[in-house]
Structure 1
């Protein structure tokens, strides 16, 4: 089975639960993993940006990867996030982190440096050559400060053997349509925007790596499955119910929004690591009101 088939549908970018003293809460992480798998997600993504990776040290990251493999226990594939803006350091990370049990490596394009399109291409080319697992590109210009164009994505897809797909979170539907039109047959394209997933799957995307699926795994995965089957009526019903939740999740920052939902669902404690802070009390009340509905 190709990676495009294996990772079709809904992947969930897991949050990292913390205790009151800021230590990683592995018991809560285990509860969350069980919750999303029982909810029907096709795979989990550990150490995505939603996992507050900029504030985790290397040992914590390694422990989280090992724990995730153990807890998932082969029930669904695991994708590991390894991204950054220092190409040489990432080459070391690809050797350091345990990737034997990973289906793929998700790597966000370099942030802050604002490299040219050629720089982005060469960065990923080096990572692909060094990675023991297929690389999924991750284009998220709202966080990185630089958009990876459709031309660069397609160049990587066609010219670099170990690049297997992209999480596209530019929000640019014209750019997404170009990638979908011209991609190689086995190249995975998934959404990185929960609020756009319904529309993007309708235009040909293979699924999503979702934040909302942490809190609403069943409703969200069902929505995506209906979309993939072109059952627009049922997909729209579920998406309409979730629109307000998407807004609340991203109103201040990610993952403060989704962590508020997960706290109210009794899955984790509402703790984040600075510079991230919990959702403001006004928005938190809106989360509670939405869940009551």
Structure 2
């Protein structure tokens, strides 16, 4: 699965002032990332405000991104939830002809046991016609899927090809990297820890800040994958503050403030999220001016 090594980005969903989807801005965002060294695109992840996107909008977003991409980069689609049967039905009914893999988030709110996580993803793996990247993000789901559960799934199902790990626990990454099957991908979902994960043997990142600063972030990842630690950390240190800023209030309000500053899209978000405060927007704007 070489196509998922490097920098993937969890694309935002741009909105107009009336909060309808801004498809022209979405096209601009896709081209901007392809032109600046990103390795693959993730559609309808948490950063896309997937919780407030309708089924009809989701289909149109997939269509527009696929048509803009024209096969240039692999596409990963977010399909997940806390109703296992609904996730299975979506995998069986969605048109996945342009999609290379599925990113499936651990069930949120329900707080399953480790066996519950396993049985959920077993059902997803058996239903999916595409390879699956598991997504562990306890800060959003309220329950941590432990490395032994992730590795059990990796060993039991050939189409479970990787995990986007976003527990923000360094030791958890090391446990996965130490015991994973050889071809299983450990992908960082924590922008702040990504370089350390790559240098320890990780496959790369599915990033939020990467779509706003694709050239800088993807260069850092490529240097890390090549073992050029000093050069990679030089970029890491330059980007540390902006990574903190974009998560300071809520995601994706922070990254949308970056993208507005870059002239890609507006900073509109749908409730219950609100736009970045003026204070945060000023910090983000000043950082980009000084970069």
Query: TM-score, structure 1 length as denominator?
Result: 0.98
Of 242, 249, 252, the match for 2:239: 242
Q: Kindly state the Cα deviation for residue 225 of structure 1 after the two structures are TM-superposed.
A: 0.3
Of 49, 52, 63, the match for 1:66: 63
Q: Kindly state the Cα deviation for residue 214 of structure 1 after the two structures are TM-superposed.
A: 1.1
Q: CA RMSD in A?
A: 0.7
Q: In the comparison of the two structures, how many residue pairs are matched?
A: 290
Q: Which structure 1 residue ranges, 4+ long, deviate > 2 Å from structure 2?
A: none
- Does 2:11 align with 1:19? no
- Does 2:120 align with 1:156? no
Cα distance in 2 for partners of 1:6, 1:180 equals: 19
- Does 2:175 align with 1:178? yes
- Which secondary structure state, in structure 2, belongs to the residue aligned with residue 258 of structure 1? helix
- Does 2:225 align with 1:228? yes
Cα distance in 2 for partners of 1:245, 1:173 equals: 20
Q: Is the 8 A contact 1:65 1:98 kept in 2?
A: no
Q: What does the per-residue CA deviation read over 1:164-209, in whole Å, with 9 as the maximum and x for residues that have no partner?
A: 1100001111111111111111111100001110111111101000
Q: Is the 8 A contact 2:147 2:175 kept in 1?
A: yes
Q: Kindly state the Cα deviation for residue 96 of structure 1 after the two structures are TM-superposed.
A: 2.5
Q: What does the per-residue CA deviation read over 1:114-169, in whole Å, with 9 as the maximum and x for residues that have no partner?
A: 00000000000000100010111000000000000010011000012221110000
Equivalent residue for 1:264? 261
Cα distance in 2 for partners of 1:232, 1:29 equals: 34
Equivalent residue for 1:96? 93
Q: Kindly state the Cα deviation for residue 92 of structure 1 after the two structures are TM-superposed.
A: 1.0
- Which secondary structure state, in structure 2, belongs to the residue aligned with residue 176 of structure 1? helix
Equivalent residue for 2:36? 39
Cα distance in 2 for partners of 1:291, 1:41 equals: 19
Cα distance in 1 for partners of 2:273, 2:90 equals: 25
Equivalent residue for 1:254? 251
Q: What does the per-residue CA deviation read over 1:256-292, in whole Å, with 9 as the maximum and x for residues that have no partner?
A: 0000010011100111100111001111111111111
Cα distance in 1 for partners of 2:248, 2:95 equals: 35
- Which secondary structure state, in structure 2, belongs to the residue aligned with residue 272 of structure 1? coil
Query: TM-score, structure 2 length as denominator?
Result: 0.98
- Which secondary structure state, in structure 1, belongs to the residue aligned with residue 192 of structure 2? helix
Q: What does the per-residue CA deviation read over 1:45-96, in whole Å, with 9 as the maximum and x for residues that have no partner?
A: 0001000000001111111111111111111100000111000011111122
Cα distance in 1 for partners of 2:115, 2:286 equals: 48
Cα distance in 1 for partners of 2:242, 2:95 equals: 34
Unaligned residue ranges in structure 2 (runs of 5+): none
